Amino acid sequence: MCGIWCAISTQRPVWPCAETLRQLERRGPDSSSRSHVTLERTTSAGQPETTHITFHSTVLSLRGHVTVEQPYKSSSGSSLCWNGEAWEFAGHSPLLRNDTEAVARLLESETCTYSETVSRSDAVERRAHSTAKTLACIAGPYAMVYHDSSNAILYFGRDFLGRRSLLTRTASDGTLLLSSVAGVVGGEDETAWSEVEADGLCYVDLKPSGAGCDSPYVIKKVPYHLANSNARVSGSSVGWLSTITFARAHSKRILSATHTRLDVSAPAIRHLEELLTSSLRRRLENIRMTDTVPPISHLAILFSGGLDCTVLARLAHDIYPTHQSIDLLNVAFENPRVHKSNFPGSTSAYELCPDRITGRASHAELMRVCPDRSWVFIAIDVPYAETMAHRQTVVDLMQPHNTEMDLSISFALYFASRGIGSTSSSSNMPASDAVYTTGAKVLLSGLGADELFGGYQRHATAFSRKGFTGLLDELDLDIGRLGKRNLGRDDRVISNWGREARYPFLDEDLLAWAMATPITEKCGFGESEVSREEMEDESELLEPGKKVLRCLAWKLGMQQVAKEKKRAIQFGARTAKMETGKTKGTQLLS
């Protein structure tokens, strides 16, 4: 995880203010460096003009044996600010060494030569398409800013799902700003920032010519579907983006020819297990281990005890070294609106939170099916006063998102990823008074499972109203807006603690399979009624939302987890409607 800042100005070098720099350095505590590049050009009026490009990068070093400082400067003078994890690229896998250097070399190797008859603008556009195709070969989450010094082009963008944060704004003096976090610039409102759309590679010609050359910061974009239009789905070319694009475009037609009931024997269960295991292996095999006294956990899971995170924990057990403990981060909030009326006397408000109850139950199930693993259940109890004390910090981090629902979700992620709580010796005992802080820098999240496999209540509602057509429309909409609605916000909130969230359900291979698989092989909606006498396996009776994942949990020996109902994080942890019960999730913060 890293923090990125970049500014392009003809006025002066523009650097992050003290508070923005503090936020960037919390994201990347291992290195903090900056650089300044100047470009000279002549305006259409024949006047000389200096362009200042400033970079500031911070680094959370998780791969390789040494910390690679950023901005990373190549031998040609190009600069790369990279906040990502390149699991695979250019047909080679896995990439275990430091990926910043590897990505820089990949971009540096992209050479294009054009005849003198090609205009500057055409040459820049062709180079941008070529660079976009190069980036399309990378599998993994990223946000990046790359200054191609040889050709005077600045590129920036996010992966096609938007799994890492990158914001942009244009200041009142025309300065173009890019940042991982929304900061105040020159006293201007921080809400003026917007998410860089996760739908293509943006670029700026730093030495434009011809019409409009006095407006040097014109942002253009190569859409990802054009960048990868010729990719092959095999061999040395990574073709998952084409597969996903095709699947999304044709998803309305994807219905199984034979609609049979899903159970643990269905082929889709085996495919999901294989792909999810492969996804987890990519995300776990490169975690840097350190010897400490006492030993610490290097891996933690954002753990509500629900279906998604518990299946991840169970499969991670098969991959991650058995002698290493795994922390389970379970957060519960004091909500005065709920607790004041329902829990008198000495009853623990935290232990009666829905996510605490399911968390302890799923912890017990994990200990039963994986007894040789040390599962450390961290009970993170957040008093109302502490929530309010951190409110403005959370509001600042989640910007430009600004609704009650954003705040409720962000509260839960903020305190869970802080990783400070208490532990207990068994799953059904209240936590001890001893304070425990997770040492893990890598956090696994189950985000994406609901969007892929129909886990939200609105999916059931869409099916009841419009059948499979309505359900497919809703699922397609959810995947398309992940980067805009969820992932950038979550990245800013979680990374504030110098930790990195990884999303196994959003692996490119798994995503391509899920979107190309008939909806009837993922969900149980529309299945015919069956009596207990007629069914071949009890897993047939599992509820329809995310049924393929429920069947996998059942197959893995976790029957209670397989039956667990979906509950939104803000209700499970009780961060929703803390101050009044009349607010709506879409209501803007005052």
Q: What is the pTM of this model?
A: 0.91
Q: Which of 77, 204, 191 minimizes the C-alpha distance to 145?
A: 204
Q: How far apart are CA 376 and CA 431, in angstroms?
A: 11
Q: What share of the chain is helix, strand, coil (3-state, %, to 5)?
A: 35, 20, 45
Do 175 and 14 contact (CB within 8 A), yes or no?
yes
Instruction: Name the CA dihedral angle for 309, 310, 315, 319, rounded to a multiple of 10 degrees.
Output: 70
Q: How far apart are CA 454 and CA 548, in angstroms?
A: 10
Cβ burial of 501 (10 Å; 0-12, 13-18, 19+) is buried
Q: How far apart are CA 277 and CA 270, in angstroms?
A: 11
**Over residues 265-281, mean pLDDT:** 97
To which H or E segment does residue 415 belong?
Answer: helix 404-418
Give the model confidence (pLDDT) of 152-167 as tens digits.
Answer: 999 999 999 999 999 9
**Where would I find the beta strands (DSSP E) of 10-133?**
31-42, 48-59, 72-73, 79-84, 88-89
> What was the pLDDT predicted at 349?
85
Which residue type occupies 21? Answer: L
> What was the pLDDT predicted at 400?
94
> What was the pLDDT predicted at 233?
32
Q: How far apart are CA 561 and CA 395, in angstroms?
A: 33
Q: How far apart are CA 278 and CA 368, in angstroms?
A: 24
Q: How far apart are CA 125 and CA 146, in angstroms?
A: 16
| Whether the predicted pLDDT of 539 surpasses 90 | no
Q: How far apart are CA 27 and CA 1, in angstroms?
A: 7
**Over residues 120-129, mean pLDDT:** 91
**Ordered domains of the chain (ranges, CATH):** 2-238 (3.60.20.10), 267-507+567-572 (3.40.50.620)
Give the model confidence (pLDDT) of 33-79 as tens digits.
Answer: 999 999 988 776 778 889 999 999 999 999 878 899 999 999 889 99
Instruction: Name the CA dihedral angle for 245, 248, 250, 256, rounded to a multiple of 10 degrees.
Output: 120
> What was the pLDDT predicted at 582?
61
Kindly list the catalytic residues: 2
| Whether the predicted pLDDT of 8 surpasses 70 | yes
Instruction: Tell me the CA distances in angstroms from 138 to 167, 184, 216, 481, one per residue in order.
Output: 21, 33, 29, 21
| Whether the predicted pLDDT of 120 surpasses 90 | no
> What was the pLDDT predicted at 126?
92
Give the model confidence (pLDDT) of 199-216 as tens digits.
Answer: 899 999 998 765 555 556
Instruction: Tell me the CA distances in angstroms from 527 to 41, 262, 285, 307, one per residue in order.
Output: 67, 9, 39, 21
**Over residues 236-253, mean pLDDT:** 47
Give the model confidence (pLDDT) of 383-436 as tens digits.
Answer: 999 999 999 999 999 999 999 999 999 999 999 999 999 996 555 555 566 799
- Spatial neighbors of 468 by CB under 8 A, at least 6 apart, are 255, 519, 520, 525, 526
The β-bridge relationship of strands 79-84 and 88-89 is unpaired
**Over residues 89-116, mean pLDDT:** 75
> What tokens were used for 7?
């500014």
Higher-confidence position of 481 and 391? 391
The phi, psi pair for 194, rounded to 5°, reads -140, 155
Q: How far apart are CA 280 and CA 276, in angstroms?
A: 6
Percent of the chain with pLDDT over 70: 81
Q: Which of 156, 7, 147 minimizes the C-alpha distance to 78?
A: 147
| Whether the predicted pLDDT of 244 surpasses 60 | no
First to last CA, the chain: 31
User: Is 361 strand, coil or helix?
Assistant: helix
Burial code (b: 16+ CB inside 10 Å, e: under 16) for 347-362 equals: ebbbeebbbbebbbbb
CA-CA-CA-CA torsion sign (101, 229, 253, 537): negative
Instruction: Name the CA dihedral angle for 159, 165, 166, 168, rounded to a multiple of 10 degrees.
Output: 130
Give the model confidence (pLDDT) of 547-579 as tens digits.
Answer: 999 999 999 999 999 998 876 666 666 676 666
Give the model confidence (pLDDT) of 292-301 as tens digits.
Answer: 767 889 999 9
- Spatial neighbors of 18 by CB under 8 A, at least 6 apart, are none
Q: Which of 180, 174, 154, 159 minimizes the C-alpha distance to 32?
A: 180
Which residue type occupies 313? Answer: A
> What was the pLDDT predicted at 237?
33
Do 88 and 76 contact (CB within 8 A), yes or no?
no
